[in-house]
Chain A
Amino acid sequence: MEWVNVLIQGVLLGGLYALFAAGLSLMFGVMRFVNIAHGDFIVLAAYLMLSFVTFMGWHPALGIMAVVLVMGTIGYLGQRILLNRVLGKDILPPILVTFGLSIILQNGMMEVFSADSRRVSSGALDVASISLPGDLAIGAMPLLMFVVALGVLAGLHVLFFHTALGRLLRATSDDAEMVPLMGGNKAHIFALATMIASGVVAVAGIMLAMKTNFDPSAGPSRLLFAFEAVIIGGLGSLWGTLAGGVVLGVAQVVGAQIDAGFQILAGHLVFLLILVVRPQGLFARMKG
């Protein structure tokens, strides 16, 4: 029973990792570039949540909406003003620029919020749990987060496959050069893609803030988890991202169960194993 419990915890953790991965995957899918500062934006969203809810005392629901709104705006403008200028045939400039952003964000957050690790309390929800037959108990918070993660992924699915914007985003992913010849403004479409990704990043950051302690340097390891979940799931597949997150989550929780210090390493080992056995990922849709 203990192992069933471990498995459930891993799956629930996977929901969070899927959200880490979804934003990264979306930007890569549409624009073919990897945002090295992705993890730091997740942490920035966590600090925004901390500022709004803990420091300024806003209602959590208001805080969540504000964080999503602020992050979405940063995403749109950042893409339009900064990143669109460095996107081109050469893949190096966007990597350098987002690497620089990562350093600026980490140091900026250090200046403003200090190096102390923080957490956003969700009150009674933190310790509430649901008892299941067979001596199992699921924490209310992890369960809620998993459900929200599923909801966000389902929302993205509807957006991609049942709206005109989603059609344009998929077309851009296929052949970005052709989209302006269809009347699409590429700079605007790219910015919308980053805006949506930043909205997902905002939700992921809020969850991070409520789930665990974080500090200004927590970004890079979140980027790594996002990377691993994307690669395990397969590039370009939304639900593959969920599978990747769950595999990574289960691996980490099982690792932690074996030895507390083994948690992160276990995730990396499973990632490497999948790279060797199935380098295209579990549900690859995209090649190259």
Chain B
Amino acid sequence: MTPHNAFLEIRNLTAFYGDFQALFGIDLTMDEGDTMAVIGANGAGKSTILRTLTGLLPSKGQDIRFAGAAIAGQPAHLIHKAGIAMVPEGRRLFPSLTVEENLSIGASGKRKGPWSLAAIYELFPDLHDRRHHGGTALSGGQQQMVAIGRALMSNPRLLLCDEISLGLSPKVIKDIYTAVPLIRARGTSMLVIEQDIAQAMAVATRVICLQEGRVSLSGRPEDLSRAEITRAYFGLEADEPDTNEPAQEML
């Protein structure tokens, strides 16, 4: 693949929930092998991008190209077959299925590749002993591992992760993020949504910051200063009272 032929290319993406407009013309480009972090405050439109990309939200008429093909408007299962898998916000494991069944469900699209049950258990050894437990009988961190493993089972070319650190302790977050380089090493590109900016900057090769449905900053993490990110994250009215809380998250 040549660098000029973008792996993922989104042009002027808009999205609505009824009358409410969530995205106002987002442009986003990724090369294969990139780990892109999408950061931004609550309600900035991060999850909406993923929901549109996967086909969960209608994307008819939008300009989304993945691996050379236009995928906008396609049904979700065909987008999945094209090689985009998601770790959804809140994990969304199937509660009546065991850990192993949850993982196997991820392979429903029958895509070929390096990932198998054995490879997932190697990546997350904790899951092997609990493979016959109910998917939701595990700790939050282990459930997140199942959700990541389930997405990997489809051998995606692009893995979308929606807030995988949400509600987990710092130690567990660290454990889970140690898997990111291992996933990348097997040839999977990643698009990661994070509120934990430090974590996001540590793993990402590219960052974009959203603010109220628009891209407020994009670049390589090493090129961006802390002040730039703060401004892009909170906007110019950084002294608004309700922005105090996210400010602490950054520290």
Q: Is the CB of B96 within 8 A of A170?
A: yes
Quick check: B77 and A173 within 8 Å, CB to CB?
A: no
Given A171-B97, A173-B96, residue A181 in contact with residue B85 (CB < 8 A): yes
Please, what's the 1-or-0 string for A158-185, where 1 marks a CB less than 8 Å from any CB in chain B? 0000001001101101110111111111
Question: Once the chains are docked, how many angstroms separate the CA of A170 from the CA of B109?
Answer: 17
B80 interface hit (Cβ, 8 Å): yes
Is A175's CB under 8 angstroms from B92's CB? yes
Q: Are B96 and A184 in contact (CB under 8 A)?
A: no
Most A C-beta atoms less than 10 A away, residue of B55, B96, B106: B96
B232 at the interface (CB under 8 A from A): no
Is A168's CB under 8 angstroms from B92's CB?
A: no
CA of A174 to CA of B75, assembled, Å: 20
* A171–B105 touching, CB < 8 Å: yes
Query: Considering the complex, which residues of chain A in the window 1-19 have a beta carbon less than 8 Å from any beta carbon of chain B?
Result: none
Determine whether the beta carbon of B108 is less than 8 Å from that of A183.
yes
Q: Does A211 contact B (CB under 8 A)?
A: no
CA distance A199 to B54 in the complex (A): 34
Q: Complex Cα distance A179/B55, Å?
A: 12
Within B166-220, the residues touching A (CB, 8 Å) are: none
- B108–A177 touching, CB < 8 Å: no
Answer yes or no: B81 CB below 8 A from chain A CBs: yes
Interface size of B by CB at 8 A reads: 27
A180–B80 CB distance below 8 A: yes
| Chain A residue contacts of B46, Cβ below 8 A | none
Enumerate chain B residues within 8 angstroms of A168, measured Cβ to Cβ.
Answer: 105, 108
Interface flag for B94 (CB, 8 Å):
yes
Interchain pairs with CB closer than 8 A, number: 67
Q: Is B110 an interface residue (CB 8 A)?
A: yes
Residue of B76, B86, B97 near A170 (CB, 8 A) is B97
Q: Which of A146-205 contact B (CB under 8 A)?
A: 164, 167-168, 170-171, 173-175, 177-186
When distances are taken between beta carbons in the complex, the residues of chain A under 8 Å from B76 are 180-181
Interface centre among A174, A180, A182 (most CB of B within 10 A): A182
Encode contact with A along B133-163: 1 for CB under 8 Å, 0 otherwise: 0000000000000000010001000000000
Nearest-neighbor residue (CB-CB) of B160 within chain A: A181
Name the one of B77, B80, B101, B110 contacting A167, with C-beta atoms under 8 angstroms.
B101
Contacting A164 at CB < 8 Å: which of B88, B104, B106?
B104
Counting chain B CB atoms within 10 Å of each CB, which of A173, A175, A181 scores highest? A181
B95 proximity list for chain A (CB < 8 A): 174
- For chain A, the bracket of interface size reads 10 to 19
User: How distant is the Cα of A181 from the Cα of B151 in the complex, in angstroms?
Assistant: 9
Closest to A185 in B: B77
| Residue in contact with A185 in the complex, picked from B75, B101, B106, B107, CB distance below 8 Å | B75
In the complex, A221 Cα to B135 Cα: how many Å?
40
Given contacts A174-B96, A181-B86, contact A167 B105 (CB under 8 A): yes
Given the known inter-chain contacts A167-B101, A183-B81, A183-B109, please indicate yes or no for A178 contacting B94, CB distance below 8 A: yes
Instruction: Tell me the complex Cα distance, A183–B101, Å.
Output: 15
Contacts of B80 in A (CB 8 A): 180-183
CB neighbors of B among A72-118 (8 A): none
Query: With A and B bound together, what is the CA distance between A179 and B93 in angstroms?
Result: 11
Establish whether residues A182 and B154, one from each chain, have CB atoms under 8 Å apart when the complex forms. yes
B250 within 8 A of A: no
Q: Is the CB of A183 within 8 A of B97?
A: no
Which residue of B75, B92, B97, B111 is within 8 Å of A180 (Cβ)?
B75
Q: Does B238 contact A (CB under 8 A)?
A: no
**Complex CA distance for A173 and B96, rounded to whole angstroms:** 9
* Bound CA span A285–B95, Å: 12
Contacts of A183 in B (CB 8 A): 77, 80-81, 106-111, 154
Taking A171-B94, A174-B95 as contacts, is the C-beta distance between A182 and B105 under 8 angstroms? yes
Q: Counting CB contacts under 8 A, is B69 at the interface? A: no
Which B residues touch A184, using CB under 8 A?
A: 77, 105, 108-109
Task: Kindly provide the distance from the CB of A240 to the nearest chain B CB, expressed in whole angstroms.
Answer: 14
Per-residue CB contact flags for chain B residues 107-141 toward chain A (1 = under 8 Å, else 0) read 11111000000000000000000000000000000
Question: A171 contacts which chain B residues (CB < 8 A)?
Answer: 94, 97, 101, 105
Q: How far is the CB of B176 from chain A (nearest CB, A)?
A: 20
**Which partner residue on chain A sits nearest B153 by CB separation?**
A182
Please list 9 pairs of residues, one from A and one from B, whose beta carbons are closer than 8 Å in the complex, sorted by A's number.
A168-B105, A168-B108, A170-B97, A174-B96, A179-B108, A181-B56, A183-B106, A183-B109, A183-B154
Q: What are the 3 tightest A-B residue pairs by CB atom distance, in nearest-first order? A: A183-B109, A180-B76, A174-B94
B residues with CB within 8 A of A: 54-56, 75-77, 80-81, 85-86, 88, 92, 94-97, 101, 104-111, 150, 154
Chain A residues within CB distance 8 Å of chain B: 164, 167-168, 170-171, 173-175, 177-186, 285
